[in-house]
Amino acid sequence: MVMSSGNITPRLANAEMGNPLGTNPNDLTVDDVTRQSGQNQYSFYGPWHVIPNATTKFIEIDYKTSDDKLGDFRLYNHSANKSDVVYSTLSLSYDPTASTLTTVIPANMSEMNVLDALTGYSESALYLCHRLYYTSTARNSGSGYFQTLTSSLGFYTPTTVSGHTRTATRRVSSTQIHNVDMDISGMSGTDYIYVDTYISNSSGTELLRLGDSDSDGHTTITMTPYAAPYIYGDIAPFGSGLTGARVALYTTNSKCSEATIYPSVGATTYSFYVKIMGQDGVDTKLISSTSGTADFRLYHYNHLGSLVETIQDNGNTLSNSAGIQLSGSCLAMQYGHYIRVELDSVTWGSIGTACP
């Protein structure tokens, strides 16, 4: 018989026990049932003890125990998932002038029996370790890492079952999310960091691996530098008499040229030429404003797309034959920063001649 939801179900056919375990159901004894290799070692509840394989460090069932009993199948999860990293690949952006990047490399512990497998270790002595490499070859060989990051494992109290062999009173939390400060001083342009994640002691010594293959603990991070700071013009949503009217920027007061402006990193001032360009049929033309009526608003954003500041540049007079200069002070322009230039208000003048 077997325990099911706390009740005893008598006269259970061998096939009903053997088939879910993936074994021949004939002639099963209590000892046979509790020691079948088809059992899921990741389920927190079961009649066994688990250990790390001495060579691979993957979790496995220790069949040398002698206190197995059918009642220990209560709350057993035959479909428990193996542990692994949540993301096998990640894409992160970084500031090329920074030396560290704070991020999260999560791991899914599912029902991993950490305390049971690592006999003699207390909760406070166990860590989630991320070891960082510059190449996948180095990661696969476990040598040549450039940084080791450790964070204390999180635990919680599981559902207890009276009389169960499973005596551990604490269980590792399903998802481990820890902030880590990665060393990015060796990054150049678009680069890669190869991460190996496992359970360790405080010094990063490997004690127990995730899942059942090395790839279950591997994350490859694509590192992309933030773009250099830039300034660009927005549309001009007013009745200008031109279709597709836009705020066009350029480095000089050229009539027809336009381009994105790239200030230097750390710049605290801006200076560029602006005009309103649009289409008059097939021709590209500029439009002027009456004297002192063109007001511009500059929106300064950081690498996260968050607004840093708003700059008002009022009282300008647009020309229909060339750009006019806008200049002033701003907060420091860093990697990933950008300024969007918007026409805030205007009283339109006349449309100029077509660009060549």
For residue 22, pLDDT beyond 70: no
Tokens of 152: 């204390």
Domain boundary among 13, 40, 73: 73
pTM attached to this predicted model: 0.78
* Residue type at 248 in one-letter notation: A
Alpha-carbon span 146 to 196, nearest angstrom: 12
220 shares its domain with 110: yes
**Per-residue pLDDT, 111:** 76
**Per-residue pLDDT, 259:** 96
Mean pLDDT (whole number) for 34-38 = 76
| Unique residue bearing structure tokens 């647009």 | 318
Least Cα distance to 270 among 226, 322, 214, 333 occurs for 333
24 shares its domain with 68: yes
Residue 111: exposure state from Cβ atoms within 10 A (0-12, 13-18, ≥19)? buried
142 shares its domain with 239: no
* Residue type at 269 in one-letter notation: T
Q: Is position 17 within any domain?
A: yes
Q: Is position 306 within any domain?
A: yes
Domain boundary among 195, 225, 255: 225
244 shares its domain with 293: yes
Sequential DSSP letters for 81-95: PPPEES-SEEEEEE-
Q: Is position 9 within any domain?
A: yes
Domain boundary among 225, 244, 261: 225
On whether the CB atoms of residues 94 and 191 are closer than 8 A, the answer is: no
88 shares its domain with 220: yes
Q: Is position 190 within any domain?
A: yes
35 shares its domain with 160: no
Domain span at 341 = 230-351
| Per-residue model confidence as pLDDT tens digits over 55-91 | 999 999 887 666 677 788 888 888 888 999 999 999 9
On whether the CB atoms of residues 97 and 63 are closer than 8 A, the answer is: no
Q: Is position 79 within any domain?
A: no
Mean pLDDT (whole number) for 289-317 = 96
Sequential DSSP letters for 268-299: -EEEEEEEEEEEETTEEEEEEESTT-EEEEEE
Alpha-carbon span 223 to 193, nearest angstrom: 7
Give the confidence band of 356 by pLDDT, cuts at 50, 70, 90.
confident
Give the confidence band of 8 by pLDDT, cuts at 50, 70, 90.
very low
Q: Is position 158 within any domain?
A: yes
DSSP 235: B
Q: Is position 78 within any domain?
A: no
Give the chain's domain count.
3
137 shares its domain with 173: yes
- Cα distances from 29 to residues 20, 34, 60, in angstroms, run 15, 9, 22
207 shares its domain with 278: no
65 shares its domain with 103: no
Report the CATH number at residue 92. Answer: 2.60.40
20 shares its domain with 58: yes
37 shares its domain with 140: no
For residue 142, pLDDT beyond 80: yes
Least Cα distance to 114 among 173, 55, 162 occurs for 173
**Per-residue pLDDT, 89:** 97
63 shares its domain with 88: no
Q: Is position 202 within any domain?
A: yes
On whether the CB atoms of residues 44 and 113 are closer than 8 A, the answer is: yes
Alpha-carbon span 311 to 239, nearest angstrom: 24
